[in-house]
Amino acid sequence: TQLLEQSPQFLSIQEGENLTVYCNSSSVFSSLQWYRQEPGEGPVLLVTVVTGGEVKKLKRLTFQFGDARKDSSLHITAAQPGDTGLYLCAGALGTASKLTFGTGTRLQVTL
Amino acid sequence: DAGVTQSPTHLIKTRGQQVTLRCSPKSGHDTVSWYQQALGQGPQFIFQYYEEEERQRGNFPDRFSGHQFPNYSSELNVNALLLGDSALYLCASSLVARHGSPLHFGNGTRLTVT
């Protein structure tokens, strides 16, 4: 059983569209991170959220941590082809430093 | 400033063989974690090394073992390879083993077991 479920699994949209990716769990996380991974490369950290209800913005990307710290969302405004990649959420449980990764959302943005 | 480097980039082994993967952490980092990423899935935590000791371990059999050296570099060893061990093996480094520490990943070693 996957601890962190992401939806949708796949998303193909056109440049300029908006999208939201969800990351859900029944577990409470002390912190949650979002990564983007491109083919042939390792995941690259986008953001870390630690407080329930926290919202962080990174240019066209908006990240939200649920009030109960069990879920998170990533919203992209006016998607660009450069946003194409595998988006992964990852949570830390309690004081443990290991991260539990979600199932991933593969995003493709076309012209 | 060199990031996380892994070697080799690709490897093909036969069932039953043993393999050793290597990782050099980002400069200044002292903690190394290893993840296994099957095709189309998110990375799965194998184990983490800090101060040359295994600090945490995921749900992987004893066939998976590791080591951290005094210069913080690390090795992942897998014995008695199975077809299901075929995956991308990612090394990630961080500073101090505490929760929420951002991970810096290498580009991985693609292991194929035939």
Do B58 and A33 lie within an 8 Å CB cutoff?
no
Q: What is the pLDDT of residues A36-73, one digit of tens each?
A: 999 889 999 999 999 999 999 999 999 999 999 999 99
The two beta strands, B19-24 and B5-7, are antiparallel
Q: What is the CA radius of gyration of chain A?
A: 13
> At residue B96, does pLDDT exceed 90?
no
DSSP string, B25-38: PPTT--EEEEEEE-
Fold of B5-113: Immunoglobulin-like (2.60.40)
Strand partners, B50: B31, B53
Provide the sign of the torsion angle of the four alpha carbons A99, A105, A40, B26, taken in this order.
negative
Strand locations in chain B (E): 5-7, 10-13, 19-24, 31-37, 44-50, 53-57, 64-68, 74-78, 87-94, 104-105, 109-113
Distance between CA atoms of residues A102 and B101, nearest Å: 17
Q: What is the pLDDT of residues B50-71, one digit of tens each?
A: 999 999 999 999 999 999 999 9
Give the pLDDT confidence score for residue B1 in this predicted structure. Answer: 61
Give the pLDDT confidence score for residue B100 in this predicted structure. Answer: 63
Give the pLDDT confidence score for residue A97 in this predicted structure. Answer: 72
Residue A88's CATH number: 2.60.40.10
> At residue A96, does pLDDT exceed 80?
no
> Which of B7, B88, B99, B107 best probes binding to A when mutated, by most A CB atoms within 10 angstroms?
B99
Strand partners, A20: A75
Do A44 and B105 lie within an 8 Å CB cutoff?
yes
Number of structural domains (chain A) is 1
Give the pLDDT confidence score for residue A2 in this predicted structure. Answer: 59
Range of the domain at A56: 5-110
Chain B residues lying within 8 Å of A100, measured CB to CB: 45
For chain B, the structural domain boundaries read 5-113
Give the pLDDT confidence score for residue B48 in this predicted structure. Answer: 93
Give the pLDDT confidence score for residue B102 in this predicted structure. Answer: 83
